[in-house]
Structures are given as structure tokens and as C-alpha cells.
A and B are shown apart, each in its own frame.
Chain A
Amino acid sequence: MKWDEFFVTGEPMIYAAMVSIVVVSLAIPIALTYFKKWNWLWTNWLTTVDHKKIGVMYILAALLMLFRGGVDALLMRAQTAVPDNGLLDGQHYNEIFTTHGVIMILFMAMPFIIGLMNVVIPLQIGARDVAFPRLNAVSFWLFFSGAMLFNISFVIGGSPDAGWSAYFPLASLEFSPTVGNNYYAIALQIAGIGTLLTGINFLVTILKMRAPGMTLMKMPMFTWSVLITNVIIVFAFPVLTVALALMTLDRQFGTQFFAMQSGGMDMLWANLFWVWGHPEVYIVVLPAFGIYSEIISAFARKNLYGYKSMVVSMVAISLLSFVVWAHHFYTMGHGVMVNSVFSITTMAIAIPTGVKIFNWLFTLRKGKISFTTPMLYSLAFIPIFTIGGVTGVMLAMASADYQYHNTMFLVAHFHYVLIPGTVFAVIAGFHFWFPKVFGFRLNEKLGKWAFWFITVSFNVTFFPLFILGLNGMTRRMYTYSESTGYGALNMVSMVGALGLTVGFIILVYNIYYSVRYSPRDTNGDPWDARSLEWSTHSPVPEYNFALIPTVDRLDAHWFSKKEGKPLATGKYEPIHMPNNSGVPIIMGAAFFFWGFFMVFSWWIPAIVFGVVILGTLAYRTFEKDHGHYISVEEIERTEKALRGEQHEN
């Protein structure tokens, strides 16, 4: 590694990125010092083990990554808006679509989902925190250091450029000699371990920490979806871990698992990647289904239709998600038999998904629908996602896929699944649960403006891609000639992308506006909703529930409001809570530096930071930390203050 290769040079956009990184990383400590906020940041946020704060940090990071991935997307659309465009060269374009894919899936969609899980799940099941609060902080800091490591590749060493699926042999050292794909392997590895830990944590939390009386079939649908998602995480992520480890061995230690020589098998990578990669789609989509179920039922003011079949269909989807992976490469030349089997399993997923769509429609039927911002996103989801779904069935047909594969038709399809499926869901969930965390709602008027911009522009951006695909335009082309006739529709798509940008800017502005001007909520239940999280105060006190509620049916909070019976009675008792800890963030930082040195094959510092990582684990093993108790007086004081505010309003 020569020093002149260390920093990426020669591109005005990269210099701009460097400048902005330096400015931001200087501005943050200067501002913290000026406002004397270091201590506040450290004790309240960086060392926290509180699931609500960890959730908020996940969501902030996800919004940041949404910005980064969004800029990538805009650049891609700008580059392809006109034929023979020279805005980006081939190499730069390849890096950008690679990072766009990785960031949007792994560092935006997943953490946003996990952030909402963190905020909502313990509240929804009537628990005071997750099962392993310290582990939860470790998960977050591993995700965060993975995300940061991946992002600095843009200015130091060069980004990965072999696509988000990093197919071998293209991603091998022979064809991708820069450190870009080392970043890919190591950063995803670190973040992936964090996700695996989250999976275990939430599995245990949901199975073991539900409020008394809440049997599995009385859990809110979001909790169900998260439970199933975490089962998928626990089964799918180890595959990614192994695949990435083999990739690192191939690229940095001279093995030949996937490379072209010595019997290495490029198809093995593709299989391993998609054995993780397809369930990954459901990891981000199933919780979205849960969010929509909560919101649709809340704003139709009606219980969820077909609860049991909703659960059964999610379980079916989770099982099927593991037996469809080969549909990502029907064109690899396996025989008619293999392709037929995978076609049928893939199309079978449409059945439980269809059941869910009809259940939502029948939840709305005979309801009393109010069109709030979260509800608008949930309602827009149904018709748009259905387009994504039916085009998925079309792609599932192996023979037809020989014509769709690698085309813009596919690109349009998965954006039609992931944006209404996941992105709309996390935005809806963000608007829906925002008042729970902060004690006030986001402005509805701005929220609706953002909604219309985003929904309309989404269709303008991605619908033309279906047609381009049918016209033979392949994905990942940095340019095309005028004679192909692809220019006009790509320009339409660019216009849509600009509209999406406006929508997201309004959305972010709405956060600022609402922080300043939004009226504070008078009770913990501004939407008059149904599940347990709405039975406690907003903002939620550290201990969530002063008294643990007892549940006797689904939507217990709703019925307790209607029947005027409180969910929890009795006397306050001291509450046992976990202590904050600085170890997770130190461990995250150690992982970051370990990863950075691994990327560049600088073994000695890598070993040093590897030892630091082991040190943090050893420290935890011998540490005596029994948590602390919140006294009855303090609970009374807090509860009184939270109620007192209500009387003033």
C-alpha cells in the first residue's frame, strides 16, 4: 500500500466528501465543548443501555445513512438521465451503485427496523427493558462501527465496486485489486455480528419477558412479526458470517474458495450470499407488515381481521424464505428441474402474502378510517406493494426470468417491494411512535406534504424502469447510447428522484419544525390506539411501567380504556434496572480500528486492537455489576411529575 493510494484522489466529488467529513468531525467536538455537552452526551447516550435511547440512536444513524444512500441514488439517476452522460466515469458509478445497495439494505433499512423494534417491543409486551440490555448496546455499537467503517471507504482506499452482491470471481483479488471489497467483507462482518446479537436478544426478550397474561396469541402483531424476524436473523446471519469470512480468506490470505483457480467455485459464493440474502429481504419486510397491522388497526379503529391467519402466514413466509434463494440465479444453468422447484416455492410466497393483503383490506372494511400521516403511508402501501408483489410472481417464473434477469424490470420490482414495503413502513412507524418517545406529534400538515411528494415521486421514479427493463435495458450500466432509445424514460425517472428528494427534505424539516412548534401531548395515547405501549406516559420514564400491566386479551389497552378498568393495580415497589456502561462503545471503537487495519492488511495494529476487543470481553466476564434500584419515592416523584404536566395542559 503506497501512501498516494491511501486517499482516493482526482475526483471533485470525493474532495467535497473529504472536506465535509473533516468539517463535520471538527464541528461536532467543537460544538460539544462549547455547549459543555460532553458529559451529557456520555452519560445519557453513549453509555446508555436503555432500549428507547438505543432505538433512537439506531434511527438517527439510519436517517444519516438514508441521506448517504440517497445521494448515491441521485447521482446514479443523474448519470443515467441522458445518454452518453459524462458526470461519472464507469469506476465511480460502479462504486456508487455498490454502496447504494449495501447502505440502503444493511445500514438504513435494517437499523431503522431494529431501531423501531428497540423503542417499541419492550413497551408493547409490558417489559422494563430487553433481556440483555448491555448486549443491546454492544449490538448498536457494532452496527455503528461497521457502518462508519464502510462509509470511510469512499475517501480512504476506495469503495467496493463489485455490486452489493459482490459476485465472485469479480470480487476476487484478481479482478478487484483495491481494498474496496475488503471493506465490504470486514464492515459487513462487524455489523452482521451486531445484528445476530440483536436477533438473540429480541428472541429471548419476546419469549421470556411478556407481561403476565400475554400468551403468544395475545401478542400485538408487530411483536409477532419481530419474533419471527429474529428467528430468521438467527438462522440466516451465520451464513453471511461464514461467507464473509471465506471472502476475507480468499482476498487476504490466499485461499481459493470462490476464486477461479484450484477448483474454487464462484457459484458457491452466489449460493451462500443468497441463502442469507433472500431471508434478509423478509427480515426487513416482515416487521414492516407488523407496523402496518398496528397502524391500520389503530386508525380503522377496529381489531385486526384474521389475527390467526396473519400469524400463520408470517410463519409460512419465514419458512419459505429459506427455500427460494436460487431464484436469484435461474440463469446460472441448473436444469429445468431445479429451476421449476424454486419457481414453485417462490410463487408460493404470494399465497400467505395475499392472505395478509386481504386481511388488511377486511380490517379497513366496516372500520372508521381517519387519514393521519402514518395511516396515509400504510394505505399507500397496499396498492403499490401489490404491484411489487405481482411483478415478483412474474419474476418467479424461471422461463420468463431469462428475459427479466439483470434488467431494470428487476430493479423496478425490488424497489416496488422495498420502498412501499419497508421504507414507507419505517416512516409510518416513525410518525406513529414519535410521540411515544418524545411526547409530541410530528406536524400533520408537513407530514402529509412529504407523504404526497414521496408517494407520487416514487411511482414516477420507478414505474418507467419496468418499461425500460422490458425494452432490454440492463441494470448497472453507467451509460448507454442514444440509439437504444432509453433516454426519455430515464429522464422521467430522474425527475421522480428529484421529487423524492423534496419529499425527504420536507420530512426532515418536519422533525425540526415539530420540535420547535408542536404542542406537547396531554396523555400517553395521542392516537387513541390499542396496544400496551400507549398505556404508559410519553415520554416514557426510564422504567417504562411503574406497575407491570396484566393482560387478558389482545388489544388489552383498548378494552381497558373502553371499560374503564386499569391494566395495573397495586403498590409501587423498587424497580431493578441495569447500569450504564462505557464498555460497549469502547468495544465498538476497538472493532472499528481492528476492521480498518484488517482492511489494509496491517497485521500488527490489527492484532493490537483484536487484543483490546478480547480485553473488553474479559473485563465484562470479571466485572461485578448488579444494576441499581429505583426507589419507591423516586417512582412516585416521576409519576407525579408526568401526571402533573398533564393537568397543566
Chain B
Amino acid sequence: MKKKWIALTLFSITAILLAGCDNPLLILDPKGPQARTLSSTILFSIAMMAGILLVVYVLYTVVLVKYRASKLDDDYEPPHEEGNKWLEIIWTAIPVVIVIILSVVTVSTTSTVEQKSVAYADEKPLVIYASSSNWKWHFSYPEEGIETVNYVNFPADRPIEFRLYSFGPITSFWIPQLAGQKYAMSDMVNTIHMSADVPGSFIGKNSNFSGEGFAKMEFEAQSLSDADYKEWVNDVKTTAPKLTEDEFDDLLEAEHVGRKTYSSNHLEFKPAPEGEDSGHNHGGTTSTDDQHEEHMDMDMDMDMDMDHDAH
């Protein structure tokens, strides 16, 4: 069949592209332990799936070549076949084995990438809060007390722990070459672990559709050598302006902004939705009930300028 050849050709083209030397595909070109785990998981599953495809395609080709009416005698009568218990057991059992293998791989790699890499088992991770508003990213460094917008710097060869949340629609924080993505949401904080092997610059983006300006919601993630990172932090602390609450509110309202750098961060006056500030802590205490009433009033007015972070 011509069709099968097309599929095969397309697959070999992919194979060539996957092996492509000068321009490797982004997620198969990992630069950190988490992304490397994922990349090898993906390659392993592709190999396994190619095996399955091969079996199906060979059977398919044989059957179509051998049993086409034009090749058979006019008086050939296909037999009546109810099925075959053993064959059916075989093609149930083999996929079961395949699924078991893949399940083991999935469970182990999922738990591997959901924590800091074993290579850095003893190191304390650097915590950075990444939050999204409209179509930009805010990065707050609680330890250093600084904040950036639309770019993030961190030391290479050290575990980084991003804590994600959103001031609006669900976004998905993704630096493909360092780690898989995770959602940033308004009512809880998600954690993502990663580290970069060496200094370098990586594309970061929101992968989850979040409205009109979504396509341009990218940022640069830069891993620096330890010395460079310390120097940058010092620079920011001495030269960058402080982030005031008013300025932050203006920032939240803005659709797109360029890069910004501040020598203080918004966590001080607008804490992330975790612990007792979590969106799921509703009901119960008196203070929460007050908040409920306040918002009911606002909602009745259908007030469009509602405070985005009014939990």
C-alpha cells in the first residue's frame, strides 16, 4: 500500500530529525538533570512504540499484499473464523507486559523529576517564586530580597526550587531544556525542581493559553556561575529601585512590560497563596467570613477592576 510507505517515510524523516546533529529539538536537548531524565524517558518510549508500530505495519503489509481479491482465485471463499483463544491471549498479554514496563518507568521517573536531583542531595535549594499576571512573569527571591520581571537569573550547578502561582488565569511555567512544566494557579502554590549543569541562557515560557497576549509570554532563564550570580545580586541590591505596593499594582495591571529589576520583592506585602494564605482555606474563621461578605458585595456590582489577589 502506498499509504504505509508514506507513513514509513515520515517516520524515517522524524528519526533523522531526532538524530539531527546541528539543530537538536529543544526537549531532546536537555541541560539539566530533570530535563535529561525526561528526554531519556521520551526516547525510550519512542523506541518501544517504534517496535509496536513495526509489528503492526509488517502484519498489515503482509495481509494486504497476500489477500487482495485481485491476487486470489475467483472461486476462493474466505473461511469462517471465530477467533483463536491462544492468539488473542498473546496479543493481550504482550501489551500488558509493555504497559507494566512503561508504568514502572513512568512512576520512577515521575518521582525522580518531582524532587531535587540526587546529584545535589545535600545542597539547600535556592527558592524563587515565579508568579504570572496578564502576560508577564514576576520572579521573587525571598532569600536575596530582590525581584525581577520577565527574566530570571540563578546559579548553575545548584538545585533551584521554583514556587509557582498566578494572579489570574492558569498559566504553565516551562523551561523546556531544564525541566518539565507545571501550572501556576491563583489559589495554590506548585513547586518545580530544576538545575542547570552549566552557565547558559534558556527559553522560558507560559505554555498554557491565558488570553490575548499569551503568544508573547516568554522570558529568559539564565544560569550563571556562582561568582557571576553573587555579583549580579549585589548589583541589583545596590542599584535597582525598591518595589512599592503601588508600583506592583500598576505592574499587575499592565499587559506586557519589558524586563524589570527591583531591590525588594512583592512577597512582603502580597504573600503567595500558600499556608494560611492559600485559596483553599475558606470557611471557618471569622476573618475569612468577613472577606466573603466583602467580595459578595463587589461581585454583585460586577466590578471589573476587582483586586486580583483579594483572597
Look across to chain A and name the residue whose beta carbon is closest to the beta carbon of B107.
A340
Given A357-B56, A400-B42, verify A169-B182 contact (CB < 8 Å).
no
Residues of A contacting B207 with CB < 8 Å? 405-407, 474
Asked if A621 lies at the interface with its beta carbon under 8 angstroms from chain B, I say: no
Min CB gap A264→B, angstroms: 8
Q: Is B37 an interface residue when CB atoms closer than 8 A count as contact?
A: yes
Complex contact A332–B4 (CB within 8 A)? no
A596 proximal to B (CB < 8 A): no
B209 touching A476, Cβ below 8 Å = yes
Scoring A256, A260, A343 by chain B CB atoms within 10 A of each residue's CB, the highest score goes to A260
- A98's closest neighbor in chain B, by CB? B209
B262 CB, nearest partner CB in chain A, Å: 25
Q: Known: A331-B172, A351-B96. Is A472-B67 also a contact (CB below 8 A)?
A: no
Once the chains are docked, how many angstroms separate the CA of A367 from the CA of B68?
Answer: 8
Cβ–Cβ contact B209 & A170, under 8 A: yes
Nearest A residue (CB) for B105? A397
* CB pair B106 A399 closer than 8 Å: yes
Given the known inter-chain contacts A371-B68, A402-B180, A405-B172, please indicate yes or no for A470 contacting B27, CB distance below 8 A: yes
CB contact under 8 A between A263 and B81, given known A170-B169, A333-B183, A403-B27: no
Q: Which of A236-244, A387-395, A501-509, A514-522 contacts B (4 or more CB under 8 A)?
A: A387-395
A256 to B295 alpha-carbon distance, docked (Å): 10
B38 and A471 contacting across the interface, CB-CB below 8 Å: no
Interface residues of A in 286-336 (CB under 8 A from B): 300-303, 305-309, 329, 331-333, 335-336
- Within A376-396, the residues touching B (CB, 8 Å) are 379-380, 382-384, 386-387, 390-391, 393-394, 396
B6 and A354 form a contact (CB under 8 A) = no
A15 touches B (CB below 8 Å) = no
The answer to whether A463 touches B87 (Cβ under 8 A) is: no
The yes or no answer to A459 lying at the interface (CB within 8 A) is yes
Contacts of B46-91 to chain A: CB distance below 8 A: 46, 49, 52-53, 56-57, 59-60, 63-64, 66-69, 72, 76-84, 87-88, 91
CB distance from A515 to the nearest CB of B (A): 29
Contact present for B186 and A471 (CB under 8 Å): no
Q: Is A597 an interface residue (CB 8 A)?
A: no
B53 near A300: Cβ-Cβ < 8 Å: no
* Stretch from A26-34, A227-235, A358-366, A434-442 forming part of the interface with B: A358-366
In angstroms, Cα B306 to Cα A456, docked, is 51
Query: B214 contacts the other chain (Cβ, under 8 Å)?
Result: yes
Taking CB atoms and an 8 Å cut-off, the chain B residues in 181-203 that contact chain A are 181-183, 185-188, 190-191, 203
CA distance A43 to B151 in the complex (A): 67
B79 cross-chain contacts in A, Cβ below 8 A: 302, 366
Contacts of A167 in B (CB 8 A): 169-170, 208-209
Contact of B210 with A351 in the complex, beta carbons under 8 Å: no
| CB of A212 within 8 Å of the partner chain | no
Which listed residue, A174, A369, A370, A383, touches B7 by the CB 8 Å rule? A383
In the assembly, what is the distance between CA of A399 and CA of B102, in Å? 11
Kindly list chain B residues whose C-beta atoms are within 8 Å of the C-beta of A366: 67, 78-79, 81
The chain B residue sitting closest to A344, CB to CB, is B103
Q: Closest CB of chain A to B207's CB: distance in Å? A: 4
**B88-133 CB contacts (< 8 Å) to partner A:** 88, 91-92, 95-96, 98-99, 102-103, 105-107, 109-114
**A350 CB within 8 Å of chain B:** yes
Q: A459, B105: Cβ atoms under 8 Å?
A: no
**A residues near B87, Cβ cutoff 8 Å:** 358, 362
Contact between chains at A163 and B209 (CB < 8 Å): yes
In contact, B114 and A463 (Cβ under 8 angstroms): no
CB proximity to A under 8 Å, residues B250-275: none
With known contacts A263-B282, A370-B69, A472–B41 Cβ distance under 8 A: no
B98: which A residues are within 8 A, CB to CB? Answer: 350
**Given A260-B186, A387-B7: A354 and B95 interface contact (C-beta under 8 Å):** yes
| 30 A-B pairs whose Cβ atoms sit less than 8 Å apart in the complex | A162-B211, A170-B168, A254-B299, A256-B299, A261-B310, A263-B279, A263-B292, A265-B280, A266-B170, A266-B187, A303-B80, A305-B81, A361-B56, A365-B66, A366-B67, A366-B78, A367-B78, A368-B78, A369-B68, A390-B49, A393-B102, A397-B45, A397-B102, A399-B106, A400-B106, A400-B109, A405-B181, A407-B207, A456-B6, A471-B25
Additional A-B contact list (17), CB under 8 Å, known A261-B298, A355-B88: A266-B170, A302-B81, A333-B190, A336-B114, A340-B110, A347-B102, A347-B103, A362-B87, A383-B3, A384-B7, A397-B106, A467-B17, A470-B28, A471-B26, A474-B174, A474-B207, A478-B215
**Which 9 A-B residue pairs are closest in the complex by CB-CB distance?**
A402-B180, A263-B282, A472-B26, A170-B169, A333-B190, A306-B83, A390-B49, A406-B207, A399-B109
- Interface on B for A, CB 8 Å cutoff? 1-4, 6-7, 10, 14, 17-18, 23, 25-28, 35, 37-39, 41-42, 45-46, 49, 52-53, 56-57, 59-60, 63-64, 66-69, 72, 76-84, 87-88, 91-92, 95-96, 98-99, 102-103, 105-107, 109-114, 168-170, 172, 174, 176, 179-183, 185-188, 190-191, 203, 205, 207-215, 279-280, 282-283, 291-292, 295-296, 298-300, 302, 304, 306, 308, 310-311
